[in-house]
A and B are shown apart, each in its own frame.
Chain A
Amino acid sequence: MNSEPALKPVFYLSLDAANPRQAEKALADLRDGLSQWRLALALARLELRNRYRGSVLGPVWMSLSTLIMLIGLGLLYGTLFKLELSDYLPHLAVSLIIWQWISTFIIEACSTLINAEGVIRQMRLPYTLHALRAAFRNTLVAAHSLPLILVVFLVFGRVPGPEAFLAIFGFLLIGINMIAAGLLLGMLCARFRDIPSLVANAVQLAFFATPILWKPELLGDAMVWMALNPFYALLETIRGPLVEGGGPLLAWVAALFYTTLNVVLAGAIFARFRARIAFWV
């Protein structure tokens, strides 16, 4: 009665325009893409190696420029806002480094599918792979700057309590958002070529509208409105645990809400238009 498993094809492709099974295929894409994380990581490292080819310091330049920015902005804005450096610099260090991680990802997410055109048209690969590779690439770059947070903490003797472990959830939330936003922005930008410029402008504006240079407490009673800013909410899930003893509950709720929204939106659009991506790039 047993059928011969050895005769089962290794690869089975069944495409039917009348019965596209969109959700099923989108989920399969996500599963296959995540399971090929080794390839995504190898491609991310390759891209970084090529980007910094011939440069002696390579990605360390990123950490250096972050360090210079931290010192410069810390002294300037600390004086402007009349804040103690020991209070302001840890805030600025965490905010700026996490912001650079998120913002460069968003900008690069716009080109992740467009740049992969050659591969997309040569072999059938999960599209999730390209979102994952952009996330890895930016995380690797950010990882060069992360130790600066530790340095600032040590210099000012700020040792966060056990609530710092909550930041792990913050990193996890940002990771989930990156996969979702990578697919969503990658698709939108492949289809509508004006979106990358629009996104670049929005990110620039968001830098000033998000408490990075300034502290949210400066807003006073208006601080509750900050929850409307998804960048604030996500930033707070890491900054809260590391420098504020946990972060406001409202920010955590908002972060969860925005993550869900992002995942649902990206999932719906990805399921609906996944099969069209090869025609867009």
Chain B
Amino acid sequence: MARICAEGLRIEFPLYHLGARSMKKRLLGAASRRVKADAHNRVVISALSDLSFTIESGERVALVGHNGAGKTTLLRSLAGIYEPVGGRLTVEGEIGTLIDPAAGMDILSTGRENIRLRGLYRGLNAEQIAALEAEAAEFSGLGEFLDVPIHGYSAGMSIRLAFAVATASQPQILLMDEWFNTGDAEFLAKAEKKLEQLITASEILVIATHDMDVVKRWCNRVITLEAGRIVGDGVVDKF
């Protein structure tokens, strides 16, 4: 069963290429809450501090909070991209990320080539890649555009492709940043159905969003972040 467990999770971003000492002093002024000096006296931004939570299989979690609250950073930590400077994180289950759909795509390659490339990124074998290609090609509904380099795609088409590729393999844990509200209504309905399908397989969804409609429709738990800390954690009904 998929499961995520964080205990005292802490992530800090070092600010390396700072110029003068006076800049450092000013940043570390009395009023600063998130910019601080770490043990080695380097200036760091405290992106996430002391987060503890457990997400069990079947939970659909919405991460809400203002810009800069730490939603995307938390998603990236859950994906194992940012490793914690403090605390512990355990993630059990295969992870699928939809954080930046264009990342890892080669704009000079065709849609089909990009699907295969993504299969290689995931470490799939030739047979699995063929299956991924067939499924993503079908779901994206791109038709003849699949064999066109993706720099010729519209924003909506790129998103269709990214969504199709990312959701084709049914990850146990789906981490997504809100981005899918582009695209036409027909595809949105299709995407929603696909997401529902993923979720009913009793796996975990963690989605960073501002949209309360998304929260109400897709999620059953809300974690509210503020300045890198959890300030609320509860069921959706309370909102």
B17–A193 touching, CB < 8 Å: yes
Closest residue of chain A to B12 (Cβ to Cβ) is A279
CA–CA, A38 and B116, complex, Å:
12
1/0 per residue, CB under 8 A from A, across B7-36: the answer is 000100110110000000000000000000
CA–CA, A104 and B102, complex, Å:
29
Known A17-B88, A122-B99: A50·B108 in contact at CB below 8 Å? yes
Our count of residue pairs bridging A and B at CB distance below 8 angstroms stands at 104
A12–B82 touching, CB < 8 Å: no
- By a CB distance below 8 angstroms, the chain B residues around A150 are none
B86–A121 touching, CB < 8 Å: no
How many Å from the CB of A68 to the closest CB on chain B?
Answer: 29
CA–CA, A123 and B102, complex, Å:
12
Closest residue of chain A to B98 (Cβ to Cβ) is A122
B88–A13 touching, CB < 8 Å: no
A15–B84 touching, CB < 8 Å: yes
Residue A46 is within 8 A (CB to CB) of chain B in the complex: yes
CA–CA, A36 and B97, complex, Å:
19
- By a CB distance below 8 angstroms, the chain A residues around B85 are 17
CA–CA, A52 and B174, complex, Å:
37
B90–A13 touching, CB < 8 Å: yes
1/0 per residue, CB under 8 A from B, across A115-128: the answer is 00011111111000
- Kindly identify which residue among A9, A15, A16, A39 contacts B80, using a CB–CB cutoff of 8 Å: A15
Which secondary structure dominates where chain B touches chain A? loop
Residues of A80-121 at the interface with B, using a CB-CB cut-off of 8 Å, are 118-121
Closest residue of chain B to A40 (Cβ to Cβ) is B120
A118–B123 touching, CB < 8 Å: no
Closest residue of chain B to A274 (Cβ to Cβ) is B83
B117–A15 touching, CB < 8 Å: no
Known A17-B84, A18-B88, A122-B81: A191·B16 in contact at CB below 8 Å? yes
B88–A10 touching, CB < 8 Å: no
- By a CB distance below 8 angstroms, the chain A residues around B81 are 120-124, 278
Identify the interface centre among B14, B83, B109, B117: most chain A CB within 10 Å of its CB: B83
CA–CA, A82 and B29, complex, Å:
70
- By a CB distance below 8 angstroms, the chain B residues around A11 are 91-95, 172
The 9 closest A-B pairs by CB, nearest first: A122-B103, A124-B80, A275-B83, A13-B91, A39-B120, A10-B94, A118-B103, A11-B94, A9-B92
A-B contact pairs, 24 of them (CB 8 A): A9-B92, A9-B93, A11-B91, A11-B92, A12-B91, A12-B92, A14-B90, A14-B91, A15-B89, A16-B84, A16-B88, A16-B89, A17-B84, A17-B88, A36-B120, A50-B108, A119-B103, A121-B81, A121-B99, A121-B100, A124-B79, A191-B16, A193-B17, A279-B82
Residues of A at the B interface (CB closer than 8 Å) are 7, 9-18, 20, 35-36, 38-39, 42-43, 46, 49-50, 53, 118-125, 191, 193, 275, 278-280
